[in-house]
Structure 1
Amino acid sequence: MNKRVSLIGAPTDIGAGSRGASMGPEALRVANIGPILQSHGLEVIDRGNLSGPANPWQTPVEGYRHLAEVVEWNRLVHEAVHAELKGGRLPILLGGDHCLGLGSISAVARHCREAGKKLRVLWLDAHADFNTSDLTPSGNIHGMPVACLCGYGPKELVEIGGHVPAVSPKWIRQIGIRSVDAGEKRLVHEAGLEVFDMRYIDEMGMRHTMELALATLDANTHLHVSFDVDFLDPDVAPGVATTVKGGPTYREAQLCMEMIADCGAMASLDVMELNPALDVRNATAHVAVDLIESLFGKSTLMRA
C-alpha cells in the first residue's frame, strides 16, 4: 500500500436531505485522523478544504436539488483527487455527503485509464445510491452517485471525468446494503451490480462476503474504498443523517477493514456522510477514524 497519503476536505452537504455533513472533515481532524495515520509510518499531508458553492437549500428543479452546485463540487473533488493520484499519492477524501463519490471515483477511473490499471470499487453503505430523478421524489443527489458513475443521470454529472460511463457496474461491489427503493432495486438488477446486502452478511458472514468482494484482485488492480459512515449500525455510529438499523457491528466492520488492509490493494479512500450535528461528543468520528486506522494496518490479531 502507498505510504504517501493526502487528506482532502470537502465540507459540503449539497447533495443531502439534511444539513451537517459539511462539518464532517473537521470532525475527522478533531478525532486526530492525521496523527493517527502518521503513527503507522505514513507520510500524511493535509491539503485542507476545497472551497465550493454554498448550499442554497432549495427544492428540486426538474428532479434534482442543487444540480449546478453538485456539479461544481464534484468537479473540484475530481480535479483534487486526480492530482494526488497523478503525483503518486493515496488520496483520502473527507466528506461531505456521498454525492461527492461521483467526483472522487470518476477521478480514480480516469487515473486507471491513464495508468493502464484495472479498477475495483468497494461501496460500503446502507444504501445502494442507484436512484435517478425518475425514481426518487426528493431529488437529493447523494442517493444517485453510483447510478451517475454507471451512466444513469444528467449529462452534467455523468460526463465528469470525460468518459461515459465513468465505471462499469461490474467493477463495483456494494457491501452492507439494507435500504433500497423499489424502482432503484429494479435498476440495480438491470445494471448487474454485485450487492452483498445485510441478509447475505447475516447468512454467510463478513469473512465470506469480503473474500468474494476482494476476489480476483491482482497487482494491477487499483482498489477504491468508498466508506459511508451509515454503513455501520446506528448503535455503533449515530452521527449520520440517514441511519438504518441492522448494519454491521463494530467487530464485523473491523473484520471488513482488516481484510481490505490484508489484500494490500487499496489506493484511494472516501469517508462520507459523517454528521457531527447528530453525533454525541464526536464519538462517531472516533469510530470512523478507528476503522480507517484498520484500513492502514492496525490489527487486533495476536498472530505471529
Structure 2
Amino acid sequence: MTPARTVRVIGAPIDYGANRRGVDMGPSAIRYAGLAEQLRRAGVAVVDDGDVRAPRAEERDPDAETLSTGRVRFLRETREVATRLAERVEGALDAGEVPLVLGGDHSVAIGTVTGSARDASIGAVWFDAHGDFNTPETSPSGNVHGMPLAALLGIGEFADVDWANAGGRDGSGADERDAGFRAENVALVGLRDVDERERDAIADSDVTAFSMSDIDERGIAAVVEDALDVAATGTDGVHVSLDLDWLDPREAPGVGTPVRGGVTYREAHSALEAVAERGCLRSLELVEVNPILDEANETASLAAELAASALGKKIL
C-alpha cells in the first residue's frame, strides 16, 4: 500500500537556549530510538533531510549580540539556525511533505513556526510544562528556550525582530488579519511552571492557556479537543510543538528542565492521537530531549512513539 503522505525529518541540534548541555544530541537520540520505523508503522513515507548547520555553543560568545533591554544568550546563533530551519520547513511544505523537526532546545520553534507560517495562516498547540512567553526584559535567565512563543508573536522587544516574528508587527501578534501566526490561534496545554511576569503576559494576551489543573479536572481528551478548536479555527493548519518536559519526569527523565506532576504516558499518546484524528497537522516538532540525562534512551524512544501517534499510528 502506498503511504498517504511523506514526512520530512529535519534535525536542529542546538543547545543555545538552556543552561544544561546535551539537548543538541536530541536529534541523533530520537533517530537512534527508531523514529523512521515508528513513522512507517503510522503509514507515512519518511525522508530524512539531515541536520541544519548549527555553530557549536562553546565556539561562540553567548553575549555577542542582544536586544534593546535584557539579556538574550546566543541571540546571533539562534537567528542563524532559525533562518536556515525556516527555509527547510518551507521547502518541505512546498514539496507537499509534513516537516518534522527534531530539537535541540525549544528555541528551534522560532524557525519551525516561521517556516510553517509562510504563505499560510496557522495555529499552534504548544504541549509544554512552561509558558515560553518570557522576553529579554522578563526572563530570569536570558535563555532563549523560555522565549520562543513570545518571539513568534512579537511580544515586547521581539516586536521588530523580523526573523522571529511570525505574526503581526504591533507586539500583540493578533492585529494583522493576514498574519501567518496569531495569538488567538495559540493554545498552551499542560502548564505547571510559569514565571510570575510571564504569567501576567499570558493573561494579557489572546493566547488560550490550559494548566495541568485543567487536565486534572476535565481530562486530557476534552482539553486537547478545545485546544485544537482554538488552533484550527480559521487557519490553514496546525503546528504542534511538543516539549518532552510536558510529560511527568517518571515517564520522560531525559529533559533539561523536569517538573513533577506532568501528563502520563497514556495521556500523552491520547493527546497526539487526537491531533491525528482531527486531520489538521501541518508541522510538528519534538524538543528538549537530553540523552545525557536520559535512562537507556527512554525519553527519545517516547518522542519517536509520540510522533507516530501524531501522524496516525493507532492501536487498532
Report the TM-score when normalising by structure 1.
0.91
Give 1:7's aligned residue: 9
Equivalent-residue separation in structure 2 for 1:80 and 1:5 (angstroms): 13
Give 1:201's aligned residue: 215
Equivalent-residue separation in structure 2 for 1:154 and 1:213 (angstroms): 25
Equivalent-residue separation in structure 1 for 2:149 and 2:277 (angstroms): 26
Asked whether the 8 Å contact 1:234–1:243 carries over to 2, the reply is yes
Give 2:148's aligned residue: 145
Give 1:115's aligned residue: none
Equivalent-residue separation in structure 1 for 2:8 and 2:32 (angstroms): 17
Three-state SS of the structure 1 residue aligned to 2:57 is coil
Structure 1 unpaired stretches of 5+: 113-117
Asked whether the 8 Å contact 2:107–2:148 carries over to 1, the reply is yes
Three-state SS of the structure 1 residue aligned to 2:119 is helix
Q: What pairs up with 1:96-135 in 2 under 5 angstroms?
A: 96-112=104-120, 118-135=121-138
Equivalent-residue separation in structure 1 for 2:26 and 2:160 (angstroms): 26
Give 2:283's aligned residue: 268
Equivalent-residue separation in structure 1 for 2:267 and 2:214 (angstroms): 13
Displacement after TM superposition at 1:134 (Å)? 1.3
Aligned residues: 296
Q: Deviations over 1:139-174 (max 9, x none)?
A: 001100000111023467454477634621101011
Displacement after TM superposition at 1:35 (Å)? 2.1
Displacement after TM superposition at 1:182 (Å)? 0.3
Displacement after TM superposition at 1:190 (Å)? 0.9
Equivalent-residue separation in structure 2 for 1:131 and 1:293 (angstroms): 31
Displacement after TM superposition at 1:273 (Å)? 0.5
Of 159-168 and 6-15, more deviation after overlay is shown by 159-168
Give 1:89's aligned residue: 97
Give 1:39's aligned residue: 41
Equivalent-residue separation in structure 2 for 1:142 and 1:173 (angstroms): 18
Q: Deviations over 1:122-148 (max 9, x none)?
A: 101000100011112310011000001
Asked whether the 8 Å contact 2:152–2:166 carries over to 1, the reply is no
Asked whether the 8 Å contact 1:107–1:161 carries over to 2, the reply is no
Equivalent-residue separation in structure 1 for 2:164 and 2:139 (angstroms): 22
Q: What pairs up with 1:289-300 in 2 under 5 angstroms?
A: 289-300=304-315
Q: Within the alignment, does 1:180 sit opposite 2:180 as a pair?
A: no
State percent identity of aligned pairs: 38
Displacement after TM superposition at 1:300 (Å)? 2.8
Equivalent-residue separation in structure 2 for 1:274 and 1:140 (angstroms): 17
